[in-house]
Structure 1
Amino acid sequence: MPKDFRATTLERAIGRQLAGWRAERELSLTEAGQRVGFSSAKLSMMENAVQPSAPLDVMALGYVYKVPVVEWQSVVVRAQHAERVRARSAGGPDFDPAADFANLVFEATLLRVFTTDLVPAVFQLPVYLNAVMQSDDPVRTARLAMVREAWASRLNGKDPLVAHAVFPEAVLRHVIGGPRVMKAQLLHLMEVSEHPAVSVRVVPRGAGAYPAMGSPFTLLGFPHRQHNDVAYLETFIKGEYVEEPGLTEECASRFASLQETALGEGESLELIAEAAADL
């Protein structure tokens, strides 16, 4: 393993696939390692993307686990691709960043999100999401619901995902789904913003131009040293990961500037309450 190994999102997805195969067969790390000839430590590191999963090792696991040939061959191809472009964040064959995003949200320890038109996905009520996506792709709707559920499942746990959100005041004034739906959404936003792991800040409409204007993004931080920060960008066409440290550092810098431009948390909460009262 390279001394300064940093797993790409593709390698993390491969690790989850390997862990899924073992879980389906109800094997412990020790039992699975004995069957394939790996130490339990090596197998654990592969599953957690703490070391790269070599294509031959993936092939061996697929054979030992009796995974259908087409399925394990697909993962081997992805591992080969990851091996060639490890330093880049490109998604390889059969890898869809948008489909995998909820998994990253579940694994992250820090989420920083800047939206321009909508309430951040992690805070969206189902009725609000349905109103947004009523004429959109139902698959994308389901994926966004998974993102919200991944965050919500950890909110009151021992290790909640810390979520910092910034968005312009216009997000509060777009009446998505009608006054009743929008009011419920704003009240929900007020409720979650009072959680100690959540920070919500609003850029007032009188602020003028501000950093990253018109360019929404999500920045995720992770607990493992081998896992760099990941920025996620999405349009209605596709999702894309950005993993190069220089670029994710630029996102972090822009987010910090956005927080400075926005109102404080207390003032933001008052503005949200005002918008809800106007409905």
Structure 2
Amino acid sequence: MPKDFRATTLERAIGRQLAGWRHERELSLTEAGQRVGFSSAKLSMMENAVQPSAAVDIMALGYVYKVPIAEWQAVVLQAQHAEQVRMRALTNTINFDPAADFANLVFESTLLRVFTTDLVPTVFQLPGYTQAASQSDDPVRTARLTMVREAWSTRLGDKDPLAVQAVFPEAVLRQVVGGPRVMKAQLLHLMEVSEHPAVSIQVVPRGAGAYPAMGSPFTLLSFPHRQHNDVVYLETFIKGEYVEDPGLTEQCAQRFAELRRIALGTGESLELIAEAAAEL
């Protein structure tokens, strides 16, 4: 067993699958262990993900339990993948942080489709708003958000500017981030940037009810080169993550199209932003 082994969620799922096979056949740990040639302790550790499950051991269990070949082969592939993930983590051979790289992708993209749920999209944030939103407790993240904003503003004056389509719920306008003065300046800035021909801002009104991707913010980036597929960027306060699978990025594109259909038009959205600013 690897030193200081900590099971991943995938390995825990594998353990539950192994236990499920045994329970379906109504075998005790002792009976199953005798059939396959394992000690009951080893089998228990595999099922409870106290130790990693080797591919050869999963194959043996699949054979003894008479599990359909395709089913045990799928679990073997999962175990092999889990082992590869752990080895990469142990050797630290991959040192790539999407959160640190994101500003570069923004600079290289031609279309940015942004859906936020709590905050004004990063590219439109004023420094005071960004600092208030991050509560000034994470200077590294604040600096990265600043780089994203600057990457967009640098492209704004280009002959072929980066197009931004942003959608967010009305609650973003009502959340007074940084106090009334900071928030009012931010809303006025939104009104200003919305006049740029490369910018589209749409607000989902409170009366819309449930809507696609509710509670799941994402940014979808498209690029000028055919060889560069669309990329989805997801971020929490813990880390950033890229999603590059074409099937998944297409799902995000479809969700975004639905969001734009449900949201107010750009003109009505601008009126709502102005109304929220006037109330501060």
Q: What is the TM-score of this pair, normalised by structure 1? A: 0.67
What does residue range 120-131 of structure 1 map to in structure 2 within 5 Å? 120-131=121-132
What does residue range 59-138 of structure 1 map to in structure 2 within 5 Å? 93-138=94-139
How many angstroms apart in 2 are the aligned matches of 1:119 and 1:223?
A: 26
Q: How far did residue 135 of structure 1 move?
A: 4.1
How many angstroms apart in 1 are the aligned matches of 2:124 and 2:232?
A: 19
Greater than 6 Å deviation, 4+ residue runs: none
Q: What code does the residue aligned with 1:206 have?
A: G
Q: What code does the residue aligned with 1:143 have?
A: R
How many angstroms apart in 2 are the aligned matches of 1:125 and 1:265?
A: 21
Q: CA, structure 1 residues 134+260, in 2 after alignment: closer, same or farther (shift >3 Å)?
A: same
How many angstroms apart in 1 are the aligned matches of 2:136 and 2:106?
A: 26
How many angstroms apart in 1 are the aligned matches of 2:136 and 2:196?
A: 33
Larger RCO (CA within 8 A; separation ≥ 6): 1
How many angstroms apart in 2 are the aligned matches of 1:107 and 1:135?
A: 28
How many angstroms apart in 2 are the aligned matches of 1:108 and 1:241?
A: 14
How many angstroms apart in 1 are the aligned matches of 2:151 and 2:216?
A: 24
Q: What is the TM-score of this pair, normalised by structure 2? A: 0.67
Where does residue 219 of structure 2 map in the other structure?
Answer: 218
Identity of aligned residues (%): 82
**Partner-residue secondary structure (3-state), 1:263:** coil
How many angstroms apart in 2 are the aligned matches of 1:269 and 1:183?
A: 14
**Residue 168 in structure 1 maps to residue 175 in structure 2:** no
Q: How far did residue 159 of structure 1 move?
A: 1.5
Where does residue 191 of structure 2 map in the other structure?
Answer: 190
Tell me the alpha carbon deviations over residues 188-240 of structure 1, each in whole angstroms, 9 at most, x when there is no partner: 00000110000000000010000000000000000001100000000111100
Mind listing any 5+ residue stretches in structure 2 that lack a counterpart? 1-83, 86-91
Tell me the alpha carbon deviations over residues 8-53 of structure 1, each in whole angstroms, 9 at most, x when there is no partner: xxxxxxxxxxxxxxxxxxxxxxxxxxxxxxxxxxxxxxxxxxxxxx
Where does residue 208 of structure 1 map in the other structure?
Answer: 209
How many angstroms apart in 2 are the aligned matches of 1:260 and 1:92?
A: 44
Q: How far did residue 93 of structure 1 move?
A: 1.1
The count of aligned residue pairs is: 191
Mind listing any 5+ residue stretches in structure 1 that lack a counterpart? 1-83, 86-90
Q: How far did residue 106 of structure 1 move?
A: 0.1
**Partner-residue secondary structure (3-state), 1:144:** helix
Q: How far did residue 260 of structure 1 move?
A: 0.4
Q: CA, structure 1 residues 100+194, in 2 after alignment: closer, same or farther (shift >3 Å)?
A: same
Pick the structure with greater CA Rg.
2
